[in-house]
Amino acid sequence: MENFDFYSPTHFVFGEDRENECGELVKKLGAKKILIHYGSGSAVKSGLLGRVKDSLDKAGVAYAELGGVKPNPRDTLVYQGIELCKKEGVELILAVGGGSVIDSSKAIAAGVCYDGDFWDFYCGKAEIKKALPVASVLTIAAAGSEGSPSSVITKEDGMVKRGTGSDLIRPVFSILDPKLTCTLPAYQTACGATDIMAHVFERYFTNTDEVEITDRLCEAVLLTMIKETPRAIAQPDNYQARANIMWAGTVAHNDIVGVGRSQDWNSHGIEHELSGLYDCAHGAGLAVVMPAWMEFVHKHNCMRFAQMATRVFGCQMNFEGPEKTAMEGIRCFRRFLHEIGMPINFEELGAKEEDIPALADNMKINGTRDGFVKLTRDDVCEILKIAAHAKL
C-alpha cells in the first residue's frame, strides 16, 4: 500500500425526508442568500424543489434560482450562473439534482471567485484557489459528485468535455434521500449503476501490491451493485435497494475504496470523448468502453482480472489458464450491463466507427494518464474498435 492523505469533509445527511432539513443546514453555515441550481424538470415535477424552498423559507434563508442544467452540463449555463450569483450576492450554491447539476454548481462556485474565464480551470490553465461553498440534494445515484472534488463540464462550442478538481469545490453537505431516486426511469438507474461500478473498477485495476483492504471494499461495492441494481429496476419503489445503491454511489467515488493505490481512469477519459461528441449518458458510454478497455489490458495482469472474475462474478478459477478466467469475468460484466439495459457496442450507443480517429485525436490532446497501462493513440483506437463490435 502507498502512503496517502484522505480528506473527505462532506457532511452526509442520509435518509427518508432529510431534504426538509436543508434550510437549517444552510443557516448553520451562515449563508443568508443562496442559489438553488437544478436540472431540466424532474425536481420540479416531483415536488422536491417546492419542499426545498419551504425548508429555506422556514429557516429564513433567501434564494435566487437557476434551472435548466442538461445532462453533460454546458459552459453556457455556468456563465449565466456566475453572473446571477454576482448580481444577487449569493453566498452558497445548493445543487438539487444529479451529477450534472452538482458539477455545474461547482463550476459556478469557482467561477464567481475568479477574475478570468472559469473554463481556465477545465483546460488546465488555472487552479481553483477560492470557491463559494457548494451543497447538494442528490436525486440520482451515479456520478458520486456529492462527495467528490471533481466537476466535468462540456463546452458548447465544439462539444468538448473536460474536468477539474479541488477540495474547495467538494460539497460541504450532501443530502441523500433514497426515496428521491424512486422516480428514476430504469435506463437512468442503469446508467447510474454502471458509473458506480466503473468508479470502483478504475480503482480496482491497480499496479500497487498488497492492497487487501481496498480490494475487499471495492468488491463489496461491486457485489452490492450486482445484487441491488436488478432489484431497483424491477421494483423502482424498493427503498432498501435504492438506499444501498445510493450509499454505494457515494463510497465508490469519495475515494475511500481507492486510497493507497495507483488508479487508472483511462476508460473515463475515453468515455468523456463519447459523451462529448454524441451527448450520450455518461454511464451508457462507460458500458461500451469499460469492458473493451478490460479486454485490451487484461494481459497486463491476468491474475487481477481473474481475482475480479472469481470474487465478484463467481467464476471458477482456471489454474492452468488464468487468462481464460480473466476473459470470463469480463464477459460476465458485459452480460450484466446488457441485462440491466445498457448498450454494449457502438450501434446500441448510437456511435459511429468512422469517428474513432477523431475521438482518439481528442484524447491525445487531452492526454492519457499512466494508469494501469499507459495508452497510446493507437491503443485508444484499438479499444474503441473492440467497443464498436462488442457482442455478448
Q: Which residues bind Zn ion (CB under 5 A)?
A: 195
Number of residues that bind ligand NZQ (CB under 6 A): 34
Part of the chain binding ligand NZQ (CB under 6 A), chosen from 3-11, 27-35, 142-150, 371-379: 142-150
With CB cut-offs between 5 and 8 Å by kind, which of Zn ion, ligand NZQ, none does residue 174 bind? none
* 101 makes contact with ligand NZQ (CB under 6 A): yes
With CB cut-offs between 5 and 8 Å by kind, which of Zn ion, ligand NZQ, none does residue 322 bind? none
* 93 makes contact with ligand NZQ (CB under 6 A): no
Quick one: which of 140, 251, 257, 288 contacts ligand NZQ (CB under 6 A)? 140
Quick one: which of 71, 291, 343, 371 contacts ligand NZQ (CB under 6 A)? 71
Which run of H or E residues covers position 33? Answer: strand 33-38
Between residues 51 and 253, which has the closer beta carbon with respect to ligand NZQ? 253
- The binding track of 262-281 with respect to ligand NZQ, each residue x by CB under 6 A or -, is ------x-------------
Amino acid at 210: E
Yes or no: say if 307 and 212 are a contact pair by the CB < 8 Å rule: no
Q: Which is it for the CA torsion 265, 251, 287, 107, positive or negative?
A: negative
Between residues 167 and 210, which has the closer beta carbon with respect to ligand NZQ? 167
For helices 377-389 and 282-297, give the axis angle rounded to 10 degrees.
110
Cell of 379: 491503443
With CB cut-offs between 5 and 8 Å by kind, which of ligand NZQ, Zn ion, none does residue 178 bind? none
For helices 186-204 and 302-313, give the axis angle rounded to 10 degrees.
140
Q: Which is it for the CA torsion 104, 110, 113, 116, positive or negative?
A: negative
* 144 makes contact with ligand NZQ (CB under 6 A): yes
Cell of 190: 442503469
Quick one: which of 145, 214, 307, 366 contacts ligand NZQ (CB under 6 A)? 145
* 72 makes contact with ligand NZQ (CB under 6 A): yes
Residue 17: burial class (beta carbons within 10 Å; 0-12, 13-18, 19+):
exposed
Q: How far is the CB of 134 from Zn ion (least distance, A)?
A: 18
The closest of 180, 177, 178, 173 to 27, measured between CA atoms, is 173
* 250 makes contact with ligand NZQ (CB under 6 A): no
Residue 17 to residues 50, 89, 137: CA-CA distances in angstroms? Answer: 13, 29, 11
Q: How far apart are CA 50 and CA 199, in angstroms?
A: 32
- The binding track of 165-204 with respect to ligand NZQ, each residue x by CB under 6 A or -, is ---------------xx-xx---x---x--x---------
Q: How far apart are CA 94 and CA 181, in angstroms?
A: 18
The closest of 119, 69, 61 to 95, measured between CA atoms, is 69
Residues lying near ligand NZQ in the complex (CB under 6 A) = 39-43, 71-72, 97-101, 103, 139-140, 142-145, 148, 150-152, 180-181, 183-184, 188, 192, 195, 253, 268, 282-283
